[in-house]
Chain A
Amino acid sequence: MRGIITFIQRDFLRWERGRVAVISALIMPAAWLIFVGLALPVQFTGNYLDFITPGILVMTMLSAGLSGGALLMFDKILGFLNKFLALPTPRESILFGKILFITGRGIIQTTIILIIAVIIGASLLQPLQYVMIYIVLFAFGILISSFATTVALYLEDHDSYAAFNTMISMPLFFTSSALMPYDVMPGWLRAIAVLNPLSFAIDAIRDIGYGIIPVLPLATLLGIACFVIVLCSHVFRKVTI
């Protein structure tokens, strides 16, 4: 546990020192929120900003997770991983520290986006609802960051990982329920959207907004997250014999 915290501290310190990256990661979701949420003349729902905010929060977490996937791979390429592996600290704490850091960083970024959303006109919710939203975002963050870390460890090469990142992030977002309700989607899109893990997170957050406790989507999310973590530990152990 001590090791996990120390690894997380290191990553936060490094993140905070790279000032430009801290801001630039927020530009994209903020732009979506403002230009699409506010400016697009759509008639799906009463307040489109309220409708799209859960999607943007999940998008923020998605890009935080995908960009964080490269971190452990870089530690490996740059020789840090070998130094860490020769320490008496349990080896798994390197991996769990990384996943928790990526998720934690995503949580900070989504919080900023959430504040922007409220400032530009999204409805305020009850404190308990926010707590539940954070639980969903956390579960989704763990899922996506361990998935991204696994892929990066497996690919072992930054260029391939960057290509993978651009290849999946936009399609994942557009084929989710982020931008429109299921009932206005074309049939083919709906078929994909109901299976997209982003939709589970987005639907769960929307449910919370409507005052429903999203048992099923949240349970599904947690289930997938557990599966991916096990897979990730396995790949990690394989690359670190």
Chain B
Amino acid sequence: MSIIETNELVKYYDDLCAVDHVTLSIDKEVFGLLGPNGSGKTTTVLMLTTLLRPTSGNASICGHDIQKHAERVRSAISYVPQDMAVDIKLTGRENVMFFAKLYGIPSPKDKADEALALMELSERADDLTRTYSGGMRRRLELAQALVHEPSALFLDEPTLGLDVAARKKIWEHIGSLSRRGMSIFVTTHYMDEADRFCDRVGIINRGKIAACGSPEELKTNLMNDIITVRIEGMCQPPDLEGVWYVGRQEDEISFTAENGKEALPALAETLTRNNVKVRAMSLREPTLDDVFLQAVGQQEEPHGFADSKFRMMLRRRR
């Protein structure tokens, strides 16, 4: 049995379905729940950390049901919420000691020092956290979460609002924790970070899991080369041998092709023949952005291309 299992998890806020039949299975790995704002990431995490009751479905952590054995679940997990919450009037060490005591750890002082050292905060441990940078506060929260050596660690948008260097550092720490045998459930809306640092990702959109797998798997399964075309006006995706339509963002449409180099001129020709004004074209390797675009597109528009929607968008932009 996996460490984190969810089975058809559903959460409604009144009429709004924030999480829609989510079924996941997560082992000792870094699992990224990836989706835009409002897609239901936080709601999922709140249910798994026993802070919110699911409308239906169930989930278990280390075999403990999140509703029937909430206390056991809480002994097995740590949770770092999306909005940072550290006591700025306390020092870094006091902040961590406080959690160590709450977890009932036998020697809280040693354990706190260890966690602070792991997060590279030892030197500043006795300064008030008021003086810490955003990245340091995040690492302090990680240290708080680590003192009791949880089996599963839940991080809700741990890199939100941090600069590039701080983000990278947080992800490196996440990676090293995972290598120590912790199962890490992390949410993010940064596709590139999920691509680089997660072992597996689940793409969530409007509460539904649209795709799930390792970034490599998702990218190679779905696509070979990516061709993006910047166009003017609207366009019907052309029907071309070996070229598939992926999706559209603003005035860029993307395609995936078995052989991008050959498809490029053919695509340009066809588009021009269809009276589409092509501004620029480029060929590149697929990213999770493309995976997301395609997965979400399939989910929302089973009949392909919502032309009217883009026409409206364009009209608004003018």
Q: Residues of A with Cβ closer than 8 Å to B?
A: 2-3, 6-7, 9-10, 13-14, 17-18, 78-80, 82-89, 241
Contact = CB atoms under 8 A, between A and B. Distances in A.
B11 to A, nearest CB: 12
A82 B94 CA distance: 19
Nearest to B130: A17
Contact of B102 (A3, A17, A79, A241): A3
Residue from A6, A10, A79, A83 having most chain B Cβ neighbours under 10 A: A83
B90 interface: yes
B104 A2 contact: yes
B103 interface: yes
B51 interface: yes
Interface stretch (B26-34, B75-83, B170-178): B75-83
Contacts of B103: 87-89
A10 B49 contact: no
Contacts of B234: none
Nearest to B77: A86
B98 A86 contact: no
A8 to B, nearest CB: 11
Contacts of A18: 89
Given A2-B104, A3-B102, A6-B102, A79 B81 contact: yes
Interface residues of B, number: 28
A85 B102 contact: no
14 contacts: A2-B101, A6-B102, A13-B89, A14-B89, A14-B90, A78-B83, A79-B83, A79-B84, A79-B85, A82-B81, A83-B80, A83-B85, A87-B99, A89-B104
A85 to B, nearest CB: 6
Given A80-B87, A86-B78, 20 more contacts: A6-B98, A6-B101, A10-B87, A14-B89, A14-B90, A18-B89, A79-B83, A80-B85, A82-B46, A82-B51, A83-B80, A83-B81, A84-B102, A86-B49, A86-B50, A86-B79, A87-B74, A87-B102, A87-B103, A88-B103
B258 interface: no
B52 interface: yes
Of all A-B residue pairs in the complex, the 6 with the closest CB atoms, nearest first, are A79-B85, A86-B79, A88-B75, A17-B89, A6-B101, A88-B74
Contacts of A14: 87, 89-90
B53 interface: yes
A23 B49 CA distance: 40
A241 B52 contact: yes
Contacts of B102: 3, 6-7, 84, 87, 89
Interface in B16-75: 46, 49-53, 71, 74-75
A89 B100 CA distance: 11
B48 to A, nearest CB: 10
B90 A13 contact: yes
A88 B51 contact: no
Contact of B51 (A3, A78, A85): A85
Contacts of B49: 86
Contacts of B77: 86
B104 A88 contact: yes
A82 B144 CA distance: 14
Contacts of A86: 49-51, 74, 77-79
Interface in B93-119: 94, 98-99, 101-104
A9 B100 CA distance: 13
Nearest to B98: A10
B42 to A, nearest CB: 10
B104 A83 contact: no
Nearest to A89: B102
Contacts of A83: 79-81, 85, 144
Contacts of B99: 87
A236 to B, nearest CB: 14
Nearest to B90: A13
Contacts of A80: 85, 87
Nearest to B71: A88
Contacts of B51: 82, 85-86
A17 to B, nearest CB: 4
Contacts of B83: 78-79
A102 to B, nearest CB: 17
Contacts of A79: 81, 83-85
Nearest to A80: B85
Interface string B137-159: 00000001000000000000000
Nearest to B144: A83
Contacts of A13: 89-90, 94
A89 B71 CA distance: 8
Given A6-B98, A82-B81, A86-B77, A241 B53 contact: yes
Contacts of B75: 88
Nearest to B87: A14
Interface in B219-247: none
